[in-house]
Structures are given as structure tokens and as C-alpha cells.
């Protein structure tokens, strides 16, 4: 494997569910020699989908990492590849993969074009500024249409796609692909599973269409480079293939364009040319900007690290997997070298970690390494106190890399162990799952004596339950899924007192504070320079020592703890700013506990005065349905308090985008199947928290108390 960073590519395969990501990955592993036989998703034998749950459902749940070699033009390259899930419940897996990748291949269904989850993945890649190329897959599917899919990338994603290939035929008549750069046709041998590729001249009947697309390719490429544009205007024919490639590469890395490839992974058409495209157009680690971070000793001091073995070691943990031989911690090394047996620092918690073993991963197989340098993705054993999103660095040159944002869960359910032994095992298992999956949360409810688990959707929680029962052999009973509501305030409350006074024999307890409470958004908190932890801001406006400094954090703690457990209906209180403006203390009786209680009392009173409102999670739902069932689908959405925001034609079907409360969406897939005779499909993702209608609010509060 090459050590020259310019010969390394860190890429991910990302797309809508069922666009064929895992099949594309399987073909890449086959053609790069990592696999000697092809695994199939529909047969449950895909290499990257190695969890039992993935094989049964035919979907990807965990992002899996693998390293494979590729030789192009006599040069050996190394591709670190991450296959990500398409299902919206596992969007966190996509998020954390994109954070550590230098480039991505976005896969689209040749018949459907850009679908709902494609847009979500594309936006995530935009946020992390990941250069990407496109692969229009499933060109062998009945109704596949390259031009329609290509235009949907332009129209629905607002991207600048540049076609570098065209399919020869489509549906059952897909024969091969045409390379618009080299102006050659490629045919993939069926008997050798596409491994044998034949290069031929472009068929005459394709020439007119090819010339049109070729002209568009050149015009798009020269628009990315001023010098090339001048040359083009002077003499169009003088532009070489290498110049066009260089312009598209430069544009792709600068996020100005997206080269588009096509083929059929299932029928083994076009995958090798796609791998060549990864080498040609996606950046190596030393072509992306230096990684940014901050000094843990001084958060205002911004730091960066070059992608070099000679710099101080820095890496980001992006995944933790519970393994029989000890937890495997996946990390992207941004700078410096990591040696087996070395000690590194987690600057976030100040703990030092031992690197006992280093592995280059190939799905579930692994190869031991003694040392690894910048730009690589590896898994290590020995890490105890670091989780997803944590930085690791050289103890003498600390840096905290930019953290990942993890969404709050929107759905929860109770889970109860069957025996005392199951109870003990459950506690350990939930800690393990939490380390692996940052979008999963769990807590013990003192009032009901139940353990509550929370996640991103029904499928997410179902898979966690199956893991506990089947993989970890823990006997549990689960309750019905519940929506995670939030509480907010509708107005402001000024000068609200909280006084805690308790006199028992001997020393008493005394704490007294006065607060103002008002609604606040994250943007407003940022403008005012306030920390907005857990969607709550606290502002200390005490002057003249009316409350001693050592008691002010106690008031804040009391307010935050009360907000976390809720005031009116036991749901977390969010989007508030509590300002401490006055108070008093007793020389002897005041204590941290007393001021914490005073903070609690003040917040409860302030929320009652300001007016409490319940917020519910609203989901963005996209339904693809034949026109015959449009009335049924829209009528059903209306009955679920849904608001339709958009309806558009997509070929022979309608795409409906609606905003619907999550509480109305349980079991929706089954209902949709029934009202459309199985012909409609839907996808759903969290959109925002919004106030509930007052009549329903009363029902929820009554049920929760």
C-alpha cells in the first residue's frame, strides 16, 4: 500500500435508502481484489452489511470502514472507504462519516433521480464542505432515465453536475458506457462478472447524442478555469483531455462542480471507471484545508494542523464498536504519526489513553499495523475514556478538533428487565450502546421506576431492542413508543423570587434569588455572547455581592436541573434565558444546596407566570405515489394534522412533501401500503419543534402526570 499522501483517498458512499450504496461498495471491493466473490444485499451476503440485523432487513445500519488498493496508469493508490446507511433513523452514521472524509460518492437511483434522503445527505455534505461526485446507478432498471436523473441533481440539489459518461442503452438494453472525456465506449463482460472490460469506438447511432453532451462537458469545464476559458475562446480544438480533467478536478475540490458517472452496480457495469473517477477527481488528504481546532487551555486561541507526519499527532474518534477483543475505536488521523504502544491525550476530558493495537480494517477483518501516519483511517484497541466526536492528540501539543453536532432523540419508550441479573446486564449494555451511538440516549425515571430509551425513530429503537435481546442475551419487556415532547414559555416573567428557608435544630438553610425569564433562540444567545447549553442560557447580572460568587453556580445548577426534568408536564424546558438579577444570603445558614433549591423554586414560579406551552416534534414527510392514489394519501395526511407544503410531478408519479406531527405518524408505513395497494413509498425526517394545539396539549399533560 502506498505511503505517499497524494496516492490516498478517504471517501464515503452515501445516498437515499435503496439507491444501491452497499452494492456499489461490494463491487469496488471485488474489483480492487479485496473480495474474491461478490456479496449481494438481497441474499444477505454483503461484506459491509455484516450485522445479522442488516442481513435480514437488506439495509445498512452501521457505517463500515475498509481499505482497498487500486492501480491506475501504473500508480498504486490506497482507498479508505466508508459505506453509510441511507435510512433517516441512522442519519448520525452518515453525519459522523462525512466529518472525517475528504470526498464522497453520492449514489442515485437511475429511475428515481434525487429522492428525499438524497437531499438530506447532500445538505450534510454541504455542511462539512465535502467534495463529491455522483454515480447514477441502476441504469438497468425498467424506466431508468439518465437525463431525468441528471437534471434532478441540478434542479433539486442546486448542484453543478458535469456528465463525464453516458449509458449505452437503458433498462434491459443497457450494454455499457461511453466515456465523454476519452471518447470511447466500454463494454463489461458478463461471464467474468464485469472484470473484463472491452474498449471500442463509439457506435455510430450514438454519435449525435454524444457530441451534444461532449460539447456541454467542455463548456462546463472551461467555465471553471479562466486560463482555459481564454484558450477555448481562441482555439476550441487545442484543449486536451488532461486540461479538461484538471479543470473538473479543481472545480470538484473547490465545491464548484460534481462530475457525474453512470452504470449498474448490480449488473457490474461501470464500477471500475467509477473507481478511476475517484482517483481523478476527489482530493487526497493533502489537498483539503488544514484541520481546525482550538487550544484546550485557551478556547479563544484557534489552532490548525497540517496533513503531515512531521506535525504533532491529532485525530478524531468517529466511531466506537463493541468487540469481543475489546472496544474498537475508529479514528481519522489528521496530523503526525501514531505508534502501537504509545500514550495519547484526550484534551476534552484530560485523560490519557493507551494505544495497545492498531488495525487497518476491512469490514470485519483486520490487519495489524505497528505505525500509521497522517491522512489514514484506522481502528485501535485500548481506548477507554473516549467516545464519538472526541479528539486525541500528542500530550505535548494539545488541540481540540471541531466537534460533531448530534441531534436530540424524538421518540422514546420504556424498557424493563425481566430479572435482577438482566437488570445488571442492561445497565452495562446501555452504556456500551451509548458509546457506540451518540444519537441514542437512556435514563432511569425515579417516579415510575422504569428505564427510558430514546432514539431517532421507531426502526432505531426496534433495532436497539433486538440487539439487547438477541446479541446481548438480555431479557427485557418494552413499552409502546412515546413522542419526546418539549416545553417552552409563551411570554416573559420579571422579578420572580425563589426563597428557600428551612429552620431545624441548630444550623438552618437559607437561599434567596430573584430572576427574569424570557424566551430565547440559539441565534439570540450567540448575539448576546451567552452559552446555550441544552437550549438554556443563564445570565448573571448580580452586582454589589448581593449573592456571594460561590453560590451563583448553585442557582444556575438548580435552574438547569429543573428545566431538564420539566415544570408543567415533565418534559424538558427549552429555549429560555434565566437572568439572575438580585437575591440575599445569610452569613451562617446559606449553602450551595439552599441556593440550588432557591433556583428551582424561582424557575417553577417564573414558568407559571410566563405561561407554559408544549412543543411537539414535526417531521418532514415525503411520499411518492402513483396519481391514482393522490386523493387517498392527501386525505390521510390531513387527518393526521399534516400540512402539505409541495406537490410535484416526477415522471409517472407524484411527490408530496408534508409537515406532520410525529405523534400522528406511528404505523404510517402500514397505512400507506393499505391505501395505495402497496404502490406508494414514504420517507420521514425530523424538521423542528413547534407548539401543539391547546386542546391536545391538555391531553398530553394529563397523560404525562
For 516-541, what is each residue's pLDDT tens digit?
999 999 889 989 988 888 889 999 99
Domain boundary among 244, 262, 287: 287
Q: Measured between alpha carbons, how far is 653 from 136 in angstroms, rounded to an integer?
A: 20
In a domain, 455, yes or no: yes
pLDDT computed for residue 700 by the predictor: 80
| Domains: count for the chain | 5
Do 603 and 620 sit in the same domain of this protein?
no
Q: What integer is the mean pLDDT of 249-275?
A: 93
Long-range contacts of 421-426 (CB under 8 A, 24+ apart): 422/474, 422/475, 422/476, 425/472, 425/473, 425/474, 426/451, 426/468, 426/474, 426/476
The sign of the torsion formed by the CA atoms of 333, 336, 340, 345 equals negative
pLDDT computed for residue 56 by the predictor: 41
Do 462 and 554 sit in the same domain of this protein?
no
For 264-295, what is each residue's pLDDT tens digit?
988 999 999 999 999 999 999 989 888 889 88
pLDDT computed for residue 448 by the predictor: 63
In a domain, 644, yes or no: yes
Query: Residues 392, 384: contact at Cβ < 8 Å?
Result: no
Q: Measured between alpha carbons, how far is 637 from 654 in angstroms, rounded to an integer?
A: 15
Spell out the residues 6+ positions from residue 565 whose beta carbon is closer than 8 angstroms to its own: 572
Question: Which CATH number fits the domain that encloses residue 42?
Answer: 3.40.50.300
Q: Using alpha carbons, select from 668, 630, 631, 675 the residue that is nearest to residue 649.
A: 630
Query: Residues 10, 101: contact at Cβ < 8 Å?
Result: yes
pLDDT computed for residue 57 by the predictor: 38
pLDDT computed for residue 624 by the predictor: 85
For 605-632, what is each residue's pLDDT tens digit?
999 999 989 999 999 988 888 888 999 9
In a domain, 696, yes or no: yes
Q: Using alpha carbons, select from 168, 260, 165 the residue that is nearest to residue 206.
A: 168
**What is the extent of the structural domain holding 28?**
5-287
Do 268 and 304 sit in the same domain of this protein?
no
What would the DSSP string read from start to end of 395-416? TTS--EEPPPP-PPP-EEEEEE
Do 195 and 323 sit in the same domain of this protein?
no
Q: What integer is the mean pLDDT of 94-113?
A: 85
pLDDT computed for residue 688 by the predictor: 87
Residues of the chain above pLDDT 70, percent: 89
Do 300 and 419 sit in the same domain of this protein?
no
Cβ atoms within 10 Å of 505's Cβ, excluding its own: 5
Judge whether residue 245 has pLDDT over 90: yes
In a domain, 406, yes or no: no
For 629-671, what is each residue's pLDDT tens digit?
999 999 999 999 999 999 988 767 888 999 999 889 887 878 8
**Average pLDDT, rounded, for the chain:** 85
Do 46 and 133 sit in the same domain of this protein?
yes
Which has more confidence, 282 or 459?
282
Do 386 and 420 sit in the same domain of this protein?
no
Q: Which of the four pLDDT bands, split at 50, 70 and 90, describes residue 325?
A: low
Q: Measured between alpha carbons, how far is 531 from 522 in angstroms, rounded to an integer?
A: 9
For 23-44, what is each residue's pLDDT tens digit?
887 788 778 775 444 444 344 4
For 203-232, what is each residue's pLDDT tens digit?
999 999 999 999 999 999 999 999 999 998
pLDDT computed for residue 423 by the predictor: 87
Q: Using alpha carbons, select from 351, 376, 350, 371 the residue that is nearest to residue 361.
A: 376
Q: What integer is the mean pLDDT of 543-550?
A: 90
- DSSP H helical segments within 77-145, as ranges? 91-100, 116-127
pLDDT computed for residue 60 by the predictor: 35
Do 521 and 664 sit in the same domain of this protein?
no
For 171-193, what is each residue's pLDDT tens digit?
888 889 999 999 999 998 887 78
For 131-143, what is each residue's pLDDT tens digit?
999 999 999 998 8
Do 454 and 395 sit in the same domain of this protein?
no
Question: Which CATH number fits the domain that encloses residue 337?
Answer: 2.40.30.10
In a domain, 16, yes or no: yes
Question: Which CATH number fits the domain that encloses residue 599?
Answer: 3.30.230.10
For 52-91, what is each residue's pLDDT tens digit?
443 443 333 344 578 888 888 889 998 988 766 544 445 5
Do 125 and 273 sit in the same domain of this protein?
yes
Domain boundary among 401, 429, 455: 401
- DSSP H helical segments within 528-611, as ranges? 552-565, 592-610
Give the single-character DSSP code of 229.
Answer: H
pLDDT computed for residue 257 by the predictor: 95
Domain boundary among 241, 268, 287: 287
Question: b/e map of 129-140 (b: 16 or more CB within 10 Å)?
Answer: ebbbbbbbbbbb
In a domain, 390, yes or no: yes
Do 127 and 34 sit in the same domain of this protein?
yes
pLDDT computed for residue 372 by the predictor: 92
Q: What integer is the mean pLDDT of 404-420?
A: 79
Do 584 and 599 sit in the same domain of this protein?
yes
Give the single-character DSSP code of 284.
Answer: P
Which has more confidence, 209 or 682?
209
pLDDT computed for residue 436 by the predictor: 77
Amino acid at each position: 500500500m502506498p505511503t505517499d499522501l497524494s496516492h490516498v483517498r478517504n471517501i464515503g458512499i452515501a445516498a437515499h435508502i435503496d439507491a444501491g450504496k452497499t452494492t456499489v461498495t461490494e463491487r469496488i471491493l471485488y474489483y480492487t481484489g479485496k473480495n474474491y466473490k461478490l456479496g449481494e444485499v438481497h441474499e444477505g451476503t454483503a461484506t459491509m452489511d455484516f450485522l445479522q440485523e442488516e442481513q435480514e432487513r437488506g439495509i445498512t445500519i452501521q457505517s463500515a470502514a475498509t481499505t482497498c488498493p487500486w492501480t491506475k496508469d501504473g500508480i498504486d493508490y490506497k482507498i479508505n472507504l466508508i459505506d453509510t446507511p441511507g435510512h433517516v433513523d441512522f442519519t448520525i452514521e452518515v453525519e459522523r462519516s462525512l466529518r472525517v472524509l475528504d470526498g464522497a460518492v453520492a449514489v442515485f437511483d437511475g429511475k428515481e433521480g434525487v429522492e428525499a434522503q438524497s437531499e438530506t445527505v447532500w445538505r450534510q455534505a454541504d455542511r462539512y464542505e465535502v467534495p463529491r461526485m455522483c454515480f447514477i446507478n441502476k441504469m438497468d432498471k425498467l424506466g431508468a432515465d439518465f437525463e431525468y436523473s441528471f437534471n434532478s441533481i441540478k434542479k433539486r440539489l442546486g448542484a453543478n453536475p458535469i456528465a463525464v459518461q453516458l449509458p449505452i442503452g437503458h433498462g434491459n438494453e443497457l450494454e455499457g458506457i461511453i466515456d465523454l472525456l476519452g471518447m470511447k465506449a466500454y463494454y463489461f463482460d458478463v461471464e467474468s462478472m464485469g472484470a473484463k472490460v472491452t474498449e471500442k469506438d463509439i457506435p455510430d447511432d450514438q454519435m449525435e447524442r454524444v457530441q451534444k453532451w461532449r460539447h456541454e462537458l467542455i463548456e462546463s469545464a472551461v467555465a471553471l478555469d479562466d486560463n482555459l476559458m481564454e484558450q477555448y475562446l481562441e482555439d476550441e480544438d487545442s484543449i486536451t483531455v488532461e486540461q479538461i480533467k484538471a479543470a473538473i478536478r479543481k472545480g470538484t475540490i473547490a465545491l464548484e462542480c460534481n462530475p457525474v458517472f453512470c452504470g449498474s452496480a448490480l449488473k457490474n457495469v461501470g464500477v471500475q471507471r467509477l473507481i478511476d473517477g475517484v482517483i481523478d477527481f476527489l482530493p487526497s488528504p493533502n489537498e483539503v484545508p488544514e484541520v481546525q481546532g482550538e487550544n484546550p487551555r485557551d478556547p479563544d486561541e484557534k489552532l490548525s494542523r497540517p496533513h503531515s507526519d512531521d506535525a504533532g499527532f491529532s485525530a478524531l474518534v468517529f466511531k466506537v464498536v463493541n468487540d469481543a477483543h475489546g472496544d474498537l475505536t475508529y479514528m481519522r488521523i489528521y496530523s503526525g504519526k501514531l505508534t502501537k504502544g504509545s500514550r495519547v491525550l484526550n484534551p476534552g476530558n484530560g485523560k490519557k489513553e493507551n494505544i495497545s493495537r492498531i488495525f487497518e480494517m476491512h469490514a470485519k477483518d483486520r490487519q495489524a499495523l505497528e505505525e500509521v501516519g497522517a491522512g489514514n483511517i484506522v481502528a485501535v484497541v485500548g481506548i477507554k475514556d473516549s467516545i464519538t466526536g472526541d479528539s486525541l492528540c500528542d500530550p505535548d501539543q494539545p488541540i481540540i478538533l471541531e466537534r460533531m453536532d448530534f441531534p436530540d432523540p424524538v421518540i422514546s419508550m420504556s424498557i424493563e428487565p425481566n430479572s435482577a441479573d438482566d437488570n445488571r446486564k442492561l445497565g452495562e449494555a446501555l452504556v456500551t450502546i451509548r458509546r457506540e451511538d451518540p444519537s441514542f440516549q437512556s435514563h432511569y425515571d425515579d417516579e415510575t421506576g422504569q428505564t427510558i430509551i430514546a432514539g431517532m425513530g421507531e426502526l432505531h429503537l426496534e433495532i436497539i431492542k433486538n440487539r439487547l435481546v438477541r446479541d446481548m442475551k438480555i431479557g427485557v419487556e418494552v413499552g409502546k413508543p412515546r413522542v419526546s415532547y418539549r416545553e417552552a414559555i409563551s411570554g416573559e416573567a420579571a422579578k420572580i423570587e425563589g426563597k428557600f428557608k428551612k429552620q431545624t435544630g441548630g444550623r438552618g438553610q437559607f437561599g434567596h434569588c430573584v430572576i427574569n425569564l424570557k424566551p430565547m433562540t440559539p441565534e439570540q444567545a450567540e448575539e448576546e455572547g451567552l452559552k446555550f447549553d441544552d437550549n438554556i442560557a443563564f445570565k448573571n447580572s448580580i452586582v454589589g455581592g448581593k449573592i456571594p460568587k460561590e453560590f451563583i453556580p448553585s442557582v444556575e445548577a438548580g435552574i438547569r436541573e429543573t428545566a431538564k426534568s420539566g415544570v408543567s408536564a415533565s418534559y424538558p424546558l427549552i429555549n429560555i434565558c434565566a437572568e439572575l438579577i438580585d437575591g440575599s444570603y445569610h452569613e451562617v445558614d446559606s449553602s450551595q444546596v439552599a441556593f440550588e433549591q432557591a433556583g428551582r423554586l424561582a424557575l417553577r414560579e417564573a414558568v407559571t407566570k410566563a405561561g407554559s406551552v408544549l412543543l411537539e416534534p414535526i417531521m418532514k414527510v415525503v411520499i411518492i405515489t402513483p396519481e391514482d392514489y393522490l386523493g387517498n394519501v392527501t386525505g390521510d395526511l390531513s387527518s393526521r394534522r399534516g400540512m402539505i407544503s409541495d406537490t410535484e410531478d416526477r415522471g409517472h408519479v407524484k411527490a408530496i412533501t408534508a409537515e406532520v406531527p410525529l405523534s400522528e405518524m406511528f404505523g404510517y408505513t402500514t397505512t400507506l401500503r393499505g391505501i395505495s395497494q402497496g404502490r406508494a413509498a414514504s420517507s420521514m425526517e425530523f424538521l423542528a419543534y413547534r407548539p401543539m394545539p391547546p386542546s391536545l396539549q391538555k391531553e398530553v399533560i394529563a397523560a404525562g402526570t
